Amino acid sequence: MRINYQLRELEGEQAFFFLSKAREVAKETGKEIISFGIGQPDFDTFSHIKEAAKRAIDEGKTGYTESAGIPELRETIANYLNKRYGAGVNYKNVLVTTGGKTAIFLAMVGVVQRDTEVLIVEPSYYAYGQVAKFLGARPIYVPLKWMGKDIGFELDLEEVKKRISPKTSAIVINNPDNPTGNVFEKEKIKALFDLARDHNLALISDEVYDYFVYDGDFFSVTQLGGWTENSVLIQSFSKTFSMTGWRLGYLAAKEELISLLDTMAVNLYSCAPNFVQWAGIEALNGDFSPTYKMISEFNERRKLLYNRLSEINGVEAYMPGGAFYMFPRIAQVLKSTGMSIRDFVFRLLREKGVLVLPGNSFSSHYGEEFIRLSYATKREKIERGTELIKEFVEEHKKD
């Protein structure tokens, strides 16, 4: 048998790779690992959502459903998007998926053709580039501009414009962005949409962190008039409701695309789990106060992590506006310790039991000088973890 060569080009998610590395190190060294690695809220799924799933199981909602999702959930999602963003959609604009990742895959399948180019604003979530490659397209990365620690990163639209070619099929943006925490201004989103429309491209907007916004306003692509003509929205229940293991997400787009992707979905996964979809209805229609409570805790952690990182010599931390990540520059630390980014990450894990991710999991442009930390972890761990990072840096400084 010959294995599909395209599979060999795929790379896995570094967050998952380092999760198992951390487990290995914990086993070998007996150290308790403080993880700033994987991006998953450390809150239990909210109880009213769990109860809804249990009820659904008891009511026998355990079989296959419509592949695009149960009509009740599609309707609920459409109403929710209309109420929150004035999206102007109905259930036919919504396809329920098995998590945000499946939504990313389907969105790309929907608008990315072989031998085209996909512009991906980076530092970014790794999956966009992987799926583009798998579809026979070329990911073209558009680096955000590093403005120094007082500002962080900014999107320069000229950088996007100069990479648009007759081969471009899509632009991908993650707003708020993993890993930088950037929340893109309304003007930038509007300008990206205009570019997409003027060049007949798709703007894929991954907004799975839309609730995790601490400073300023969030602007969704779905707030733009006529957005479905050129945009595809990626969404997930994973982060907002702390439901990462439930595998529930959706994409929203124009009816024609959703209907075609429905056929793809039935070929791929038949449907999202039945009782999980019923729990999804409860999530969207039910009480949002646990979400707001979680986000207010994350905001405290954000400030704490920022303050602690800023105290470490050579770490250039900036205050991100959204998501739950920080992406500080550590070039001076690497210089003064003589370590590469890989050395830094592996040695910090082995010697201090602290897991951070190397920037090169998210960016080829900035990857060798930055690290990502998720602050979806308890405040005590943030305190202790940053103390250990500080110690590590001090111990290895050569100058």
Ligand X SMILES: Cc1ncc(COP(=O)(O)O)c(C=O)c1O
Minimum CB–partner distance for residue 142 and ligand X (Å): 16
Q: How far is the CB of 294 from ligand X (least distance, A)?
A: 16
Nearest Cα residue to 325 out of 290, 292, 361, 288? 361
DSSP-assigned letters across all residues of 319-332: --SBTTEE--B-HH
Site size toward ligand X (CB under 6 A) is 13
Q: Does the footprint of ligand X cover residue 37 (CB under 6 A)?
A: no
**Is 254 a binder of ligand X (CB under 6 A)?**
no
Among 106, 208, 309, 382, binds ligand X (CB under 6 A): 208
Task: Give the phi and the psi of residue 315 in degrees, each rounded to 5.
Answer: -95, 120
Shortest distance in whole angstroms from residue 223 CB to ligand X: 19
Q: Would you state the structure tokens that stand for residue 174, as one six-digit string?
A: 């993650």
The alpha carbon of residue 103 and the mean position of all alpha carbons in its chain are separated, in whole angstroms, by 12
User: What is the rounded distance in angstroms from the CA atom of residue 65 to the CA atom of residue 73?
Assistant: 11
Which stretches of the chain are assigned E, i.e. beta strand? 34-35, 94-97, 117-122, 138-143, 145-146, 153-154, 168-174, 202-206, 231-236, 249-252, 325-326, 354-355, 357-358, 371-374
Residue 65 or 240: the one with the smaller Cβ distance to ligand X is 240
CB of 326 to ligand X, least distance (A): 14
Give the contact letters, 89-118, x = binds to ligand X (CB under 6 A), - = no: ----------xxx-----------------
- The residue among 116 and 205 lying less far from ligand X, judged by its C-beta, is 205
238 touches ligand X by CB under 6 A: yes
Residues within window 289-348 making contact with ligand X, judged by CB under 6 A = none
Rounded Cα–Cα distance for residues 342 and 357 (Å): 9
**Contacting residue, 230, 244, 360, 377, with ligand X by CB under 6 A:** 244
Smallest distance from ligand X to CB 246, Å: 9
- The single residue among 77, 123, 142, 206 that binds ligand X, judged by CB under 6 A, is 206
Q: Which residues contact 307 (CB under 8 A, 6 or more apart)?
A: none
125 binds ligand X (CB under 6 A): yes
User: Which pair of tokens denotes residue 191?
Assistant: 């300008």
Which one, 35 or 337, has the nearer CB to ligand X?
35
CB closer to ligand X, 10 vs 165: 10
Joined tokens for residue 341: 């980014």
> What is the binding site for ligand X (CB under 6 A)?
39, 99-101, 125, 174, 178, 206, 208, 236, 238, 244, 249
